Amino acid sequence: METLNIDQIEELLPRYCSGEATIEECRMVEEWIGQSEDNYRIVKQIYAIDQVMGTAQMESKVNTEKALASVNRKMSKERPQVAWFTWVQRVAAILFLPLLITLAIQNFTPRTEIARMIEIKTNPGMTTTVDLPDGSKVYLNSESSLTYPSFFSEDERNVQLKGEAFFEVQKDPEHRFVVSGPHFTQIEVLGTSFNVEAFERDSFISTTLVEGKVRFAYQKNQQLATMVMKPGQKLMYNTISSQVKLIETTGEAEIAWKDGKIVFLATPLPEALRILEKRFNVSFVLSNDRLRKEAFNGAFTNQRLERILEIFKISSNIKWRYMDTQNTTNEKTRIEIY
Protein backbone atom coordinates (compact mmCIF):
# COMPACT_ATOMS: atom_id res chain seq x y z
CA MET A 1 0.00 0.00 0.00
CA GLU A 2 1.28 3.40 -0.98
CA THR A 3 2.09 5.63 2.00
CA LEU A 4 0.60 9.09 1.58
CA ASN A 5 2.70 12.06 2.65
CA ILE A 6 1.26 15.23 4.14
CA ASP A 7 1.28 17.10 0.82
CA GLN A 8 -0.84 14.43 -0.84
CA ILE A 9 -3.32 14.33 2.04
CA GLU A 10 -3.68 18.09 2.06
CA GLU A 11 -4.53 17.97 -1.64
CA LEU A 12 -6.91 15.00 -1.55
CA LEU A 13 -8.96 15.62 1.62
CA PRO A 14 -10.97 18.67 0.38
CA ARG A 15 -11.82 16.89 -2.89
CA TYR A 16 -12.71 13.70 -1.04
CA CYS A 17 -15.10 15.47 1.37
CA SER A 18 -16.78 17.45 -1.44
CA GLY A 19 -17.27 14.31 -3.59
CA GLU A 20 -14.88 15.41 -6.36
CA ALA A 21 -12.15 12.77 -5.86
CA THR A 22 -11.64 9.92 -8.32
CA ILE A 23 -12.22 6.28 -7.37
CA GLU A 24 -8.48 5.68 -6.91
CA GLU A 25 -8.10 8.84 -4.80
CA CYS A 26 -11.06 7.80 -2.62
CA ARG A 27 -9.41 4.42 -2.06
CA MET A 28 -6.13 6.05 -1.03
CA VAL A 29 -7.86 8.45 1.41
CA GLU A 30 -9.97 5.69 2.98
CA GLU A 31 -6.87 3.58 3.53
CA TRP A 32 -5.23 6.56 5.20
CA ILE A 33 -8.33 7.12 7.38
CA GLY A 34 -8.13 3.53 8.58
CA GLN A 35 -4.60 3.98 9.86
CA SER A 36 -5.62 5.85 13.02
CA GLU A 37 -8.50 7.34 14.99
CA ASP A 38 -6.91 10.79 14.63
CA ASN A 39 -7.09 10.53 10.84
CA TYR A 40 -10.79 9.64 11.05
CA ARG A 41 -11.59 12.67 13.29
CA ILE A 42 -9.72 15.02 10.93
CA VAL A 43 -11.77 13.87 7.91
CA LYS A 44 -14.98 14.05 9.90
CA GLN A 45 -14.35 17.69 10.86
CA ILE A 46 -13.43 18.71 7.30
CA TYR A 47 -16.56 16.97 5.99
CA ALA A 48 -18.72 18.89 8.50
CA ILE A 49 -17.19 22.17 7.36
CA ASP A 50 -17.91 21.30 3.73
CA GLN A 51 -21.56 20.52 4.55
CA VAL A 52 -22.08 23.81 6.39
CA MET A 53 -20.69 25.71 3.46
CA GLY A 54 -22.98 23.89 1.04
CA THR A 55 -26.06 24.55 3.16
CA ALA A 56 -25.29 28.25 3.37
CA GLN A 57 -24.66 28.42 -0.39
CA MET A 58 -21.32 30.11 0.13
CA GLU A 59 -19.27 28.12 -2.37
CA SER A 60 -19.07 31.06 -4.74
CA LYS A 61 -17.71 33.33 -2.03
CA VAL A 62 -15.29 31.06 -0.21
CA ASN A 63 -13.20 28.43 -1.99
CA THR A 64 -12.43 25.64 0.46
CA GLU A 65 -9.33 24.44 -1.33
CA LYS A 66 -7.86 27.95 -1.54
CA ALA A 67 -8.49 28.45 2.18
CA LEU A 68 -6.72 25.17 2.92
CA ALA A 69 -3.82 26.00 0.60
CA SER A 70 -3.36 29.36 2.29
CA VAL A 71 -3.05 27.63 5.63
CA ASN A 72 -0.86 24.90 4.21
CA ARG A 73 1.77 27.41 3.03
CA LYS A 74 2.30 28.37 6.64
CA MET A 75 2.67 24.78 7.78
CA SER A 76 5.94 22.96 7.99
CA LYS A 77 6.06 19.63 6.21
CA GLU A 78 8.05 18.19 9.09
CA ARG A 79 5.43 19.10 11.76
CA PRO A 80 4.05 16.12 13.66
CA GLN A 81 0.62 14.78 12.67
CA VAL A 82 -1.05 16.05 15.84
CA ALA A 83 -0.80 19.60 14.38
CA TRP A 84 -3.65 18.67 12.07
CA PHE A 85 -6.18 19.49 14.80
CA THR A 86 -4.91 23.05 15.05
CA TRP A 87 -5.00 23.27 11.25
CA VAL A 88 -8.64 22.17 11.11
CA GLN A 89 -9.62 24.69 13.77
CA ARG A 90 -8.03 27.51 11.77
CA VAL A 91 -9.78 26.41 8.60
CA ALA A 92 -13.10 26.30 10.46
CA ALA A 93 -12.54 29.86 11.65
CA ILE A 94 -11.80 31.02 8.10
CA LEU A 95 -14.94 29.38 6.73
CA PHE A 96 -17.37 30.30 9.51
CA LEU A 97 -16.49 33.99 9.67
CA PRO A 98 -18.09 34.92 6.32
CA LEU A 99 -21.01 32.64 7.17
CA LEU A 100 -21.69 34.57 10.38
CA ILE A 101 -21.36 37.88 8.54
CA THR A 102 -23.89 36.71 5.94
CA LEU A 103 -26.38 35.62 8.61
CA ALA A 104 -26.00 38.94 10.41
CA ILE A 105 -26.68 40.85 7.19
CA GLN A 106 -29.76 38.75 6.48
CA ASN A 107 -31.22 39.23 9.95
CA PHE A 108 -30.36 42.84 10.71
CA THR A 109 -30.50 44.58 7.33
CA PRO A 110 -33.85 46.39 6.90
CA ARG A 111 -36.18 44.77 4.38
CA THR A 112 -36.10 46.71 1.13
CA GLU A 113 -38.40 44.58 -1.02
CA ILE A 114 -41.82 45.97 -1.87
CA ALA A 115 -44.85 43.97 -0.79
CA ARG A 116 -47.00 42.83 -3.70
CA MET A 117 -50.75 43.18 -3.36
CA ILE A 118 -52.85 40.02 -3.44
CA GLU A 119 -56.57 40.06 -4.30
CA ILE A 120 -58.86 37.13 -3.54
CA LYS A 121 -62.34 37.09 -5.11
CA THR A 122 -65.22 34.68 -4.60
CA ASN A 123 -67.66 33.68 -7.31
CA PRO A 124 -71.41 34.09 -6.79
CA GLY A 125 -72.76 31.46 -4.44
CA MET A 126 -69.26 30.42 -3.27
CA THR A 127 -67.20 31.06 -0.13
CA THR A 128 -63.48 30.68 0.60
CA THR A 129 -60.95 30.95 3.43
CA VAL A 130 -57.84 33.17 3.35
CA ASP A 131 -54.79 32.91 5.63
CA LEU A 132 -53.09 36.29 6.05
CA PRO A 133 -49.31 36.76 6.48
CA ASP A 134 -49.65 37.42 10.23
CA GLY A 135 -51.63 34.21 10.90
CA SER A 136 -55.06 35.86 10.87
CA LYS A 137 -57.84 33.95 9.11
CA VAL A 138 -60.54 35.45 6.90
CA TYR A 139 -63.72 33.73 5.70
CA LEU A 140 -64.85 35.40 2.48
CA ASN A 141 -68.53 35.25 1.51
CA SER A 142 -70.11 35.13 -1.95
CA GLU A 143 -69.28 37.90 -4.50
CA SER A 144 -66.68 39.44 -2.18
CA SER A 145 -63.06 40.47 -2.58
CA LEU A 146 -60.19 40.87 -0.13
CA THR A 147 -56.96 42.72 -0.97
CA TYR A 148 -53.88 42.42 1.27
CA PRO A 149 -50.06 42.68 0.97
CA SER A 150 -47.73 39.71 0.72
CA PHE A 151 -46.25 40.89 4.05
CA PHE A 152 -47.43 43.57 6.47
CA SER A 153 -45.50 46.75 7.20
CA GLU A 154 -43.81 47.49 10.51
CA ASP A 155 -46.54 49.97 11.47
CA GLU A 156 -49.90 48.27 10.89
CA ARG A 157 -51.76 45.46 9.20
CA ASN A 158 -54.11 46.85 6.58
CA VAL A 159 -56.52 44.96 4.30
CA GLN A 160 -59.28 46.14 1.95
CA LEU A 161 -62.69 44.47 1.82
CA LYS A 162 -65.49 44.72 -0.70
CA GLY A 163 -68.33 42.42 0.26
CA GLU A 164 -68.73 40.28 3.35
CA ALA A 165 -66.13 38.53 5.48
CA PHE A 166 -65.63 37.09 8.94
CA PHE A 167 -62.25 37.89 10.53
CA GLU A 168 -60.32 35.95 13.17
CA VAL A 169 -57.49 38.38 13.87
CA GLN A 170 -54.18 37.26 15.35
CA LYS A 171 -53.47 39.26 18.49
CA ASP A 172 -50.60 41.72 18.15
CA PRO A 173 -51.00 44.82 20.38
CA GLU A 174 -48.04 46.55 18.75
CA HIS A 175 -49.48 46.38 15.22
CA ARG A 176 -53.08 47.46 14.78
CA PHE A 177 -55.25 45.60 12.28
CA VAL A 178 -57.35 47.79 9.98
CA VAL A 179 -60.09 46.73 7.55
CA SER A 180 -60.79 49.43 4.97
CA GLY A 181 -64.18 49.29 3.27
CA PRO A 182 -66.26 51.27 0.78
CA HIS A 183 -67.53 54.79 1.49
CA PHE A 184 -64.39 55.77 3.47
CA THR A 185 -65.09 53.34 6.33
CA GLN A 186 -62.50 51.62 8.51
CA ILE A 187 -62.61 49.06 11.28
CA GLU A 188 -59.64 48.98 13.65
CA VAL A 189 -58.95 45.98 15.91
CA LEU A 190 -56.18 44.59 18.09
CA GLY A 191 -57.25 40.93 18.25
CA THR A 192 -60.81 39.83 17.85
CA SER A 193 -63.50 38.00 15.88
CA PHE A 194 -66.02 40.00 13.89
CA ASN A 195 -68.14 39.99 10.73
CA VAL A 196 -68.21 42.80 8.16
CA GLU A 197 -70.75 43.28 5.38
CA ALA A 198 -69.67 46.07 3.04
CA PHE A 199 -70.94 45.68 -0.51
CA GLU A 200 -70.45 48.73 -2.71
CA ARG A 201 -73.93 48.29 -4.22
CA ASP A 202 -75.67 48.47 -0.82
CA SER A 203 -76.61 51.63 1.05
CA PHE A 204 -75.37 50.28 4.38
CA ILE A 205 -72.33 48.72 6.02
CA SER A 206 -72.68 46.44 9.03
CA THR A 207 -70.25 45.05 11.59
CA THR A 208 -71.05 42.30 14.08
CA LEU A 209 -68.60 41.88 16.96
CA VAL A 210 -68.31 38.37 18.42
CA GLU A 211 -65.41 38.94 20.81
CA GLY A 212 -62.72 41.52 21.48
CA LYS A 213 -62.98 45.21 20.72
CA VAL A 214 -63.24 47.24 17.52
CA ARG A 215 -63.45 50.88 16.58
CA PHE A 216 -65.66 51.73 13.61
CA ALA A 217 -64.60 54.88 11.73
CA TYR A 218 -66.84 56.62 9.19
CA GLN A 219 -67.54 59.95 7.51
CA LYS A 220 -70.18 62.23 9.01
CA ASN A 221 -70.70 65.77 7.73
CA GLN A 222 -67.36 65.50 5.93
CA GLN A 223 -65.60 64.78 9.20
CA LEU A 224 -64.19 61.63 10.73
CA ALA A 225 -66.39 60.03 13.38
CA THR A 226 -65.75 56.86 15.41
CA MET A 227 -67.73 54.43 17.54
CA VAL A 228 -66.33 51.71 19.81
CA MET A 229 -68.20 48.41 19.79
CA LYS A 230 -68.59 45.74 22.45
CA PRO A 231 -69.07 41.98 21.96
CA GLY A 232 -72.68 41.07 21.16
CA GLN A 233 -73.32 44.27 19.20
CA LYS A 234 -74.12 44.80 15.54
CA LEU A 235 -73.44 48.21 14.03
CA MET A 236 -75.48 49.41 11.04
CA TYR A 237 -74.09 52.39 9.13
CA ASN A 238 -76.29 54.11 6.54
CA THR A 239 -73.94 55.34 3.81
CA ILE A 240 -76.53 57.86 2.55
CA SER A 241 -77.61 59.54 5.78
CA SER A 242 -74.38 58.77 7.71
CA GLN A 243 -76.50 57.50 10.59
CA VAL A 244 -75.18 54.75 12.87
CA LYS A 245 -77.30 52.32 14.87
CA LEU A 246 -76.24 49.66 17.40
CA ILE A 247 -78.26 46.46 17.77
CA GLU A 248 -77.86 43.74 20.39
CA THR A 249 -77.29 40.31 18.81
CA THR A 250 -75.86 36.87 19.52
CA GLY A 251 -74.11 36.96 16.16
CA GLU A 252 -75.42 33.49 15.29
CA ALA A 253 -77.47 34.61 12.30
CA GLU A 254 -74.81 37.03 11.01
CA ILE A 255 -71.90 34.55 10.91
CA ALA A 256 -73.72 31.28 10.10
CA TRP A 257 -72.77 31.61 6.43
CA LYS A 258 -69.09 30.84 7.09
CA ASP A 259 -70.09 27.35 8.25
CA GLY A 260 -72.35 26.81 5.24
CA LYS A 261 -75.54 27.48 7.21
CA ILE A 262 -78.45 29.91 6.99
CA VAL A 263 -79.93 31.05 10.29
CA PHE A 264 -82.97 33.31 10.66
CA LEU A 265 -83.74 34.75 14.11
CA ALA A 266 -86.75 37.03 13.78
CA THR A 267 -85.14 38.13 10.52
CA PRO A 268 -87.20 40.61 8.45
CA LEU A 269 -88.12 39.32 4.99
CA PRO A 270 -86.01 41.87 3.03
CA GLU A 271 -82.90 40.88 4.99
CA ALA A 272 -83.75 37.18 4.69
CA LEU A 273 -84.06 37.52 0.93
CA ARG A 274 -80.73 39.34 0.74
CA ILE A 275 -79.08 36.43 2.60
CA LEU A 276 -80.62 33.98 0.16
CA GLU A 277 -79.44 36.07 -2.79
CA LYS A 278 -75.82 35.73 -1.68
CA ARG A 279 -76.13 32.03 -0.95
CA PHE A 280 -77.92 30.93 -4.14
CA ASN A 281 -76.80 33.63 -6.61
CA VAL A 282 -80.32 34.80 -7.45
CA SER A 283 -82.16 38.12 -7.43
CA PHE A 284 -85.45 38.70 -5.61
CA VAL A 285 -88.15 41.20 -6.52
CA LEU A 286 -90.42 42.00 -3.56
CA SER A 287 -93.61 43.31 -5.14
CA ASN A 288 -95.85 43.21 -2.06
CA ASP A 289 -94.90 45.91 0.47
CA ARG A 290 -97.09 44.27 3.11
CA LEU A 291 -94.61 41.42 3.31
CA ARG A 292 -91.74 43.70 4.34
CA LYS A 293 -92.89 43.49 7.96
CA GLU A 294 -92.83 39.70 8.00
CA ALA A 295 -90.05 38.05 10.06
CA PHE A 296 -88.76 34.50 9.98
CA ASN A 297 -87.12 31.96 12.28
CA GLY A 298 -85.34 28.82 11.18
CA ALA A 299 -82.04 27.18 10.34
CA PHE A 300 -81.07 25.60 7.02
CA THR A 301 -77.96 23.72 5.95
CA ASN A 302 -78.38 21.63 2.81
CA GLN A 303 -81.89 22.58 1.75
CA ARG A 304 -82.50 23.75 -1.81
CA LEU A 305 -83.75 27.29 -2.40
CA GLU A 306 -87.16 26.04 -3.55
CA ARG A 307 -87.60 24.16 -0.28
CA ILE A 308 -86.79 27.27 1.79
CA LEU A 309 -89.23 29.38 -0.22
CA GLU A 310 -91.93 26.76 0.25
CA ILE A 311 -91.42 26.99 4.02
CA PHE A 312 -91.76 30.79 3.72
CA LYS A 313 -94.96 30.23 1.80
CA ILE A 314 -96.46 27.94 4.43
CA SER A 315 -95.44 30.05 7.44
CA SER A 316 -96.34 33.51 6.10
CA ASN A 317 -98.69 32.89 3.20
CA ILE A 318 -96.32 34.44 0.67
CA LYS A 319 -96.20 33.45 -2.98
CA TRP A 320 -93.20 33.19 -5.26
CA ARG A 321 -92.45 32.48 -8.90
CA TYR A 322 -89.54 32.53 -11.32
CA MET A 323 -89.44 35.53 -13.62
CA ASP A 324 -88.37 35.43 -17.25
CA THR A 325 -84.95 36.90 -18.11
CA GLN A 326 -83.97 37.92 -21.63
CA ASN A 327 -80.31 36.95 -21.22
CA THR A 328 -79.87 33.87 -19.06
CA THR A 329 -76.10 33.93 -19.52
CA ASN A 330 -75.29 37.28 -17.92
CA GLU A 331 -78.25 37.85 -15.62
CA LYS A 332 -79.07 36.18 -12.34
CA THR A 333 -82.21 34.15 -12.01
CA ARG A 334 -84.96 36.50 -10.86
CA ILE A 335 -87.65 35.42 -8.40
CA GLU A 336 -90.73 37.46 -7.55
CA ILE A 337 -92.08 37.46 -4.00
CA TYR A 338 -95.73 38.58 -3.87
For the segment 67-125, what is each residue's pLDDT rounded down to a tens digit? Answer: 455 545 544 444 444 455 555 555 554 544 444 444 444 554 455 678 899 999 999 99
pLDDT at 32: 79
> Which pTM value belongs to this model?
0.65
Q: Do domains 111-258 and 261-338 have the same CATH topology?
A: no
What single-letter amino acid sits at 171? K
pLDDT digits (tens, 9 = 90+) for 209-266: 999 999 999 988 889 999 999 999 999 999 999 999 999 999 999 999 999 999 999 9
61: closest CA among 23, 105, 17, 19? 105
**Domain 111-258: which topology?**
Jelly Rolls (2.60.120)
* Domain ranges for the chain: 6-108, 111-258, 261-338
Which helix (H) or strand (E) is 129 found in, with range?
Answer: strand 128-131
Residue pair 167/158 in contact (Cβ under 8 Å)? The answer is no
φ and ψ of 185, to 5 deg: -100, 150
* CB hemisphere CA count around 158 (13 angstroms): 10
Q: In CATH, what class is 261-338?
A: alpha beta
